[in-house]
């Protein structure tokens, strides 16, 4: 997935929508957090995932994916973005 596709997929999972109905994300994605490059943004996305889904198996999957991509504690924002998208089965 491109970085732009990752940003949009994570934003959609977090409840973001284009600002105007019928508008394309490709035009309006300027305000979307840069999840693959920003650990703070990924932290907020991960918190949202746990709140919305609240499923232990989802938390376990996220943990496993992050470990596979690198040490969970030291995982980069990019690694966390990939793990997040794999967890919600949106990774392409």
Say what the pTM is. 0.74
Question: Any residues with CB less than 8 A from the CB of 35 and at least 6 apart, and which?
Answer: 6, 7, 10, 11, 41, 42, 45, 77, 81, 84
Higher pLDDT, 53 or 11: 11
Q: What is the pLDDT of residue 52?
A: 60
**Mean pLDDT, to the nearest integer, of 10-23?**
76
Q: What is the pLDDT of residue 7?
A: 92
**How far lies 64's CA from each of 25, 58, 71, in Å?**
30, 10, 10
* Cβ burial, residue 38 (10 Å; 0-12/13-18/19+): middle
Number of domains in the chain: 1
Q: What is the pLDDT of residue 56?
A: 61
Please indicate, yes or no, if residue 22 is contained in any of the structural domains. no
Please indicate, yes or no, if residue 79 is contained in any of the structural domains. yes
pLDDT tens figures, 29-77: 567 889 999 999 998 998 877 666 656 666 677 777 777 666 667 788 9
- Which domain covers residue 61, as residue numbers? 3-17+28-87
């Amino acid at each position: 997935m491109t970085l732009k596709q990752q940003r949009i997929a994570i934003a959609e999972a977090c409840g973001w929508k284009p600002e105007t109905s019928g508008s394309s994300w490709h035009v309006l994605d300027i305000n979307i957090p840069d999840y693959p490059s920003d650990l703070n943004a990924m932290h907020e996305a991960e918190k949202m995932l746990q709140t919305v889904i609240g499923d232990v198996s989802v938390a376990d999957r996220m943990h496993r994916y992050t470990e596979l991509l690198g040490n969970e504690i030291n995982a980069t924002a990019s690694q966390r973005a990939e793990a997040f998208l794999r967890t919600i089965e949106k990774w392409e």
